[in-house]
Structures are given as C-alpha cells and as structure tokens.
Structure 1
Amino acid sequence: MDDVTGSPTPDAAFLRPAPPPPGKRLALRLAGPAAVAAGVLAATAYVGTVDPNEPGHYPLCPTLQFTGLFCPGCGGLRCVHALASADIPAALGFNAFAVAMVPLLVFIWLRWTVRSARGQVRMSAADPRLVKLLLAGIAVFTVLRNLPFGTWLAP
C-alpha cells in the first residue's frame, strides 16, 4: 500500500471500497424509517382484521388481571382496531391517550425520515424535559382512568 517513504502507491486507490451509488445511499438511509413504517402498518393491519373485542385472540392485560387496575395501555388493541376502521369516537373511548399520541408519533417518524433522506446525523436522545412531560402525562392518565370520576377514561 504505502512504500517506505509513506507516500501512497498507485494500488492504494484500487484497494479502497468504492462509495455506493447516490441512489443506493438514499435507500440505505431510508431503510430504518421504511422498516419501522412497514412493521407498524403490518401490526395495524393485523389488529384491524383480527378483532380484539372477541375473546381468545389476544392475551389479557397482566396489570388488569392481577391488580384490577387499568394500565396506560389497557384498551390499546381495541383502540388500534377502531382507528383501523376509522371509528375515532370508539378509539377515544378505548384509549384516549393512545389516540392523542398518534399525531406525535407520526411527526417524530416524519422528522426521522426527512433527516435520514437529507443524510443528516441522527438526533441525540429526546430533550429530558419532554421525556419527563410525557411520563407525567402517562402517570396522570393512568391515575385518572382508575379513579371513580375518571371512569370515562377507562376502556
């Protein structure tokens, strides 16, 4: 590769791998967002066709089964089934927090896709204040849906 003097030999350029063609690089950059979208669409299609309202298709929520309390995800499958059927009022009745999170998750996915397409560096972890706010929202939602006056939030 390099001779004794440290200068590159003519063969050195041939030994380095060639960069992928520009289109291929774009496809590789979009592979992550595309895989996530495909997984979410496949799971939504499955839940949309296999009704969680019919017993026996999905396991019971362990939190509800063992404590009798609704966890933040209780009603989530029925919510996705209702959303897949475009029944927004029913989805809100099953899990209003999940319905509220859909636009946020779509925004995050779109931002990730655009940044990937532009070749921008992956963003660091989320702002800790936003994470704390999200966790506080989940906690408040969970407590409210288990209180007597919050039964309208229960699935």
Structure 2
Amino acid sequence: MAVAVGAAAAGAFIHAADPTTPGGVIPECPSKHFLGVICPGCGSMRMIYSLLHLDFGAALRFNAVGLLVLVALIGAFARWTWRRARGDGAGTMRLGGRAAWCIAAVVVAWLVVRNIPVAPFTALRV
C-alpha cells in the first residue's frame, strides 16, 4: 500500500509541477545540465506527465525505454501484489542474474544511442 500511495503522491506532484514548462519547479537533469550528457533517465518526468495526460505519443518521444521500464515495473508490482494477496509466495521480488545483466545492457545502449550526434539518433534527444 505504501508503494501505491508513494507513486500516487509522486504522480500528483509531477502533474502539478508541469515539467514540460522550462524554468519550472522541477530542475533540468544534472547530467544534462552540467556535463551535456543525456542520461537514460532524461525526459522521465515529462514522460510521466504526458502519461498522466494520456498523451502516449509524447511519452514515447520523451523516453521510450523509460516507458517500457515503467510498464514492466507496474506489471511486476501488480503480479507481486496479486501473489501476496493470494498467499502464493514469500512476498519478495527477486531479479535473476541474467535479467540484471540484460537490464544493464539496455540502459548502457540507451545512454550511448541517445548521445550519438548524427541523424536519426538526434531525434532521441530531449
């Protein structure tokens, strides 16, 4: 319940703060601001804001991999909640070694691809 309440509170804050407006309450990503590097998470606040407004195209444009991760997290949380409610498991979520390496590879690839300074990769910059 605490995770759901925390996610709802974060969503309400993002909705109220409107990260799509420059100079707003939510600052620019530090890696982008100080280093000029677009990190794998850049655009995530704007992606969530777009999802809250049911603008799936904008959410995909702001952070496509982040959107996939968010969908996977929601699915994992729903599965964990369902299993916990039914009493089918110890109540913990585990991530295997292969899955962790795959996630790391995707994150590193997304970091590299978003920072390639030639078309069509420049379209992935936010």
* TM-score (normalised: structure 1): 0.73
Distance 1:56 1:44 in 2: 16
Question: In structure 1, which of residues 39, 48, 54 is the aligned counterpart of residue 15 of structure 2?
Answer: 48
Percent identical pairs in the alignment equals 36
Give 1:60 shift: 2.1
Question: In structure 2, which of residues 34, 55, 64 is the aligned counterpart of residue 87 of structure 1?
Answer: 55
Give 1:125 shift: 2.9
Letter matched to residue 53 of structure 1: T
RMSD: 1.4
Letter matched to residue 91 of structure 2: R
Distance 2:111 2:26 in 1: 22
Structure 1 gaps, min length 5 = 1-33
* TM-score (normalised: structure 2): 0.89
Q: Give yes or no for contact 2:80–2:93 (8 Å, CA) kept in 1.
A: no
Matched, 1:57 2:25: yes
Matched, 1:133 2:107: no
What is the 5 A alignment of 1:71-150?
71-119=39-87, 120-123=89-92, 125-147=94-116, 148-149=118-119, 150=121
CA offset digits 1:63-85 (Å, max 9, x no partner):
11121010011111111111100
Task: State the aligned residue count.
Answer: 122
Give 1:49 shift: 2.4
